[in-house]
Amino acid sequence: MKTTSLSDSSVSYGHVMLIYTGGTIGMVPNADGEYDNVAGKLHDYLYNSSLFNDPDYTPPTTTKRKLPNKRVTDDTGTLYDPMYMPIITKDTTEENPIYLTYTMYEYTNLLDSSNMTTEVMMQIADTISTNYDSYDAFVILHGTDTMAYSASGLSFSLENLKKVVIITGSQIPIYETRTDARDNLTGSLLMAGQYFSIPEVCLFFDSQLLRGNRTTKISAETLEAYASPNFPVLGEVEVNISVDEDLILKPSPDPFTSYVDISPNIAVVRLYPDMSLALLTAALASPVQGVVLQCYGAGNFPSNNQALLDAIEDAVDNGVVVVDNTQCLKGGVVFSYAAGAVLESIGVIAGGDMTTEASLMKLSYLITKYPGSPDDIKQQMALDLRGELTVAPTGSQAVAKTLSAVGIESSLARTAQSTADLKEAVYLPIMQLAIKKRDKSAIEDICKKEPGVLKLKDSEGKTALHFAVIEGKTDIIQDLIKKGASVQTRDRLGRSALLEAVQSKKMENVLLLSRHGAHLTMDSTELGFELNKAAARNDVDLLKAFAAAGASMTATDYSSKTPLETAQQCKSTKCIEYLHSHSGEPSAKKARKFRR
């Protein structure tokens, strides 16, 4: 985790291009009292705001400051003169004032994001490509309704990216007294100006930097409008600015390029009970080239509806690429149920934990990238191209990594970028096997040979301690803790070893980890969601495991409902009895909360 302070005078800032496409952030009421964009309005506000610009500042590299408000207009927009956002001002220090330089480019046709099209998305990609060598980073001002679609689309179109691109906007216009716009814009500029070498398309909202193709809009009313359900937060702007560099993608050695030809002929079809054959057939018909099918739970489909299955199979046979996505906010598609496996058998691809927005835009990108080659498209859809998909290595892949690490000729041995890669490749799989077989002698030998093995993480971010908890090996858990394993390390989805122990309902492991300082790394609403889910299933053992880990049994979910209320509604008798007797808060010593 890299953390910096705004008062740190050693931090250098790059030159940021601010691309204004429209959206609520710059809207004002029109004659009818409806919010709309006005050309030049946002720039004039920023230029005259002491928060966003110091018109008297003279950059040290120039002898004469340019005239303010200079406008250079082309066919697509207006490029203004640079503005200088004060970071450490001359009021704070006369010797070394620090400013962040940014230049605004305003599109001629400012859009409400509901009017966003793939053509405009590719216009944004072209703007970045055209100006790529002139700026260090890019911030895009965008309406919130379709921001996740653009973030996903740009992540695929901007190939081999080596500079950060951040999309942001707001729920309330920037001119209002109470607004989220100023914080979102300031945070985006600070992140882009300081961490300009992050080779990703990101989305910044409500103080959090998120991977763009992992985001989805979750609220039309609150300022916490965006979430990344299946991937951790990349960075935060709080008292200090922090970025988790372990989560950032590695830059490609290939030169940057933009691919601006994507297909609009993609459909999103949400499954529901008694869906009509005519509707599904119409959604699969020409000119549709790909379909994102939003199925139930882990990708399940009504396997007893042969007519619907035949319609999908016919479309797949005719070259339509069909991707199975979950309707759930969290989790992903795994063809582990018969109701899901039936789709796999007719050529449907599992979308894993991709958001619907990411699946849609990835499919749009690949269909033009591999025209007339559905098999190639399917193969690419199953790969993690831009960090949009969690792909766990198979057993054979893990073996291949291990063989490469010990010197057997393979592509991994030739391309491993560091010693750390090799350590992760060889020691962690062996450690996992030793844990599985409860081979304490092997565990001891590995820890002596590579003392850092307990800090290594697999592709899901899990350590040896996570694996021992999942395997339920209490004695191994105790040994690993004695050898220095951290009880607080979280995987890529933010799950700690304690949460794994709670979910497995093995009480002795919960108590063991708690005694060594482990605590739940969940905010109260997420905790409430898990407790209410357990109450609905009458899973009293899971409630007891959460309580043993220090969880409050009165935590509320996203609808402000307590576990007891859910248990009563679902007639979960065991849970009702337990919650009645454990409705008080846990002791202050046990009750801990950490916001991710």
Report the binding-site residues for substrate.
113, 144-145
| Cα–Cα distance, 464 to 27 (Å, whole number) | 51
The residue annotated as part of the active site, out of 101, 118, 144, 179, is 144
Kindly state the tokens that stand for 88. 């450490």
Kind and range of the H or E element at 538?
none
Cβ neighbours of residue 107 under 8 Å, at least 6 residues apart?
A: 19, 20, 21, 22, 76, 77, 123
* Catalytic residue check, 144: yes
* Catalytic residue check, 4: no
Which residue in the block uniquely carries the two structure tokens 């991710």?
A: 596
The DSSP result for 226-268, as a single string, is: EE-TTS---EEESSSEEE-TTTSPPPPSSPPEE-------EEE
Cβ neighbours of residue 121 under 8 Å, at least 6 residues apart?
A: 149, 150, 153, 154, 157, 262
* Residue (of 523, 526, 525, 538) closest to 569 by Cα position: 538
Q: At what angle do helices 507-515 and 474-482 cross, to 10 degrees?
A: 10
| Cα–Cα distance, 281 to 310 (Å, whole number) | 10
* Residue (of 333, 306, 330) closest to 322 by Cα position: 333
The DSSP result for 98-163, as a single string, is: EEEEEEEEEEEEEE-GGG--HHHHHHHHHHHHHTTTT-SEEEEE--STTHHHHHHHHHHHEET--S
| Cα–Cα distance, 297 to 334 (Å, whole number) | 9
C-alpha triplet 14, 56, 189: angle, nearest 5°: 30
Q: What are phi and psi of 286, to 5 degrees?
A: -55, 140
Q: What are phi and psi of 274, to 5 degrees?
A: 65, 35
| Cα–Cα distance, 130 to 132 (Å, whole number) | 6
DSSP state at residue 490:
B
* Residue (of 350, 419, 420, 438) closest to 389 by Cα position: 350
User: Please, are residues 554 and 562 in contact by the beta-carbon 8 Å criterion?
Assistant: yes
DSSP state at residue 392:
P
Kindly state the tokens that stand for 435. 């844990």
User: Please, are residues 138 and 192 in contact by the beta-carbon 8 Å criterion?
Assistant: yes
The residue annotated as part of the active site, out of 21, 24, 168, 216, is 24
Cα 503 to its chain centre, rounded Å, is 23
Kindly state the tokens that stand for 294. 């939003």
User: Please, are residues 43 and 106 in contact by the beta-carbon 8 Å criterion?
Assistant: yes
Q: Which residues pair with 209 in a beta bridge?
A: 204, 235
Name the residues annotated as catalytic.
24, 144
